[in-house]
Amino acid sequence: MSFEDWKPASLEEKTSITQLDERTFSADLSSTYCIGTVPHGGYVASVFLKVAKAYLAPRGQPDTFVGHWQFLSRTQAGPAVLRVDEAKPGRSLSVLHITLHQTGLLAAHPWLSPEEAGRGEVAAYVTNRNMDDESGITLATGWGIPHAPPPVADLAALPLGKDPNWQHLYTWLMRRLPMMHNLEYYVPRSSHPTPATQDLWIRLAVGERFTNTAIGYVADAAAPLIPESYRAESRDGPVPPGRFERYTGLWYPTITMNLDIKKKLPAAGVEWLRLRVASRMIQDGRYDMELLVFDEQGDLVAIGHHVAMLVGMERNYANRGEVPRSKPRERI
């Protein structure tokens, strides 16, 4: 699908799940949340969060506050089965081991072929409790982020381009990967502290609000933006030192992602979230990323940590079709 034909898709709808039996759920991974041929890792993580909530809400433990994902193989758009195993059931919190499968699917119980049951494309450990019931010692740490971003006078002015400190983000990558337009990104007019440390405001392009199950998607929403900031700006001439060629087609697959949710969002959700993303080292086709998520009040909502790769886009399309041309028009 071309950028011109793209319509933002509902995250709530495209992460919907169906319970097949006590410990098995189905989902339909959407092409509208794919990077090339592979569903976005954070989008897949939000499907897991919905499964964990559906499974543990009847026990009064609806809220994920810790998650760890291991992306073992490429996923693809289409049907998936998620299998839940209880790693540690408990009265105040429970730990689930959830696996996502897209091969060996069966139309009826047991839903997975025996040889596939012990495998899977994605595996996660997810810890849930009821965050509304949390209590205990609270201590002020005095922590804050260095190089704080400029303030926003009025978030409603951001989409209108009227905020003096922030502007809408458009990058070369967004034309190549239309699914990035499922979010609206806003960045400081004064640039970022460094190419490897960036601040953003985001909201869902369809007008939905972020809920806690959406935080999986949010935690992976800015992973490509740091390496993309090193893409050469000029179409012609030599590539400057410390940059890569403008039309190099890259894919940034997540290997592992960790999520620590600090604050429960309102049941009705929130329209806006602020991100601080940073990488400490990009080397030999591998990089780390830390992502901090804040709400409109400046409260820390979540912390994410990633290990990801920088590989040629042909790896994404291997045995799945031809890589799209790498030289899109420069302007919308």
3-state secondary structure of 303: strand
For the domain spanning 3-130, the CATH number is 2.40.160.210
d(CA 325, CA 293): 34
Domain ranges for the chain: 3-130, 156-317
Q: What pLDDT, in 10s, does the model give residues 50-83?
A: 999 999 999 999 999 999 999 999 999 999 999 9
Q: What is the pLDDT of residue 175?
A: 75
pLDDT band at 330 (very low <50, low <70, confident <90, very high): very low
Whether the predicted pLDDT of 2 surpasses 80: no
Here the tokens at position 5 are: 């034909």
Q: What is the pLDDT of residue 163?
A: 94
Q: What is the pLDDT of residue 201?
A: 97
Whether the predicted pLDDT of 327 surpasses 70: no
- Closest by CA position to 273, among listed 195, 172, 158, 161: 158
Burial 247-267 (b: 16+ CB within 10 A, else e): eebbbbbbeebbbebebbbee
d(CA 44, CA 30): 10
Q: What is the pLDDT of residue 40?
A: 95
Q: What is the pLDDT of residue 4?
A: 55
Phi, psi of 84 (to 5 degrees): -105, 130
DSSP at 197: E
β partners of residue 274: 201, 294
For the whole model, what pTM was predicted? Answer: 0.93
Whether the predicted pLDDT of 326 surpasses 70: no
The residue with greater pLDDT, 228 or 280, is: 280
The reply to whether 156-317 shares the fold of 3-130 is no
CATH superfamily of 156-317: Hotdog Thioesterase (3.10.129.10)
Q: What is the pLDDT of residue 194?
A: 84
Q: What pLDDT, in 10s, does the model give residues 218-262?
A: 999 998 899 888 888 777 778 888 888 887 888 899 999 999 999
Using a pLDDT cut of 90, give the percent of the chain over it: 74
User: What DSSP assignment string belongs to 98-145?
Assistant: EEEE-SSB-SSTT-B-TTTTT--SEEEEEEEE-GGG--S---------
d(CA 257, CA 44): 11
**Mean pLDDT computed over 27-34:** 96
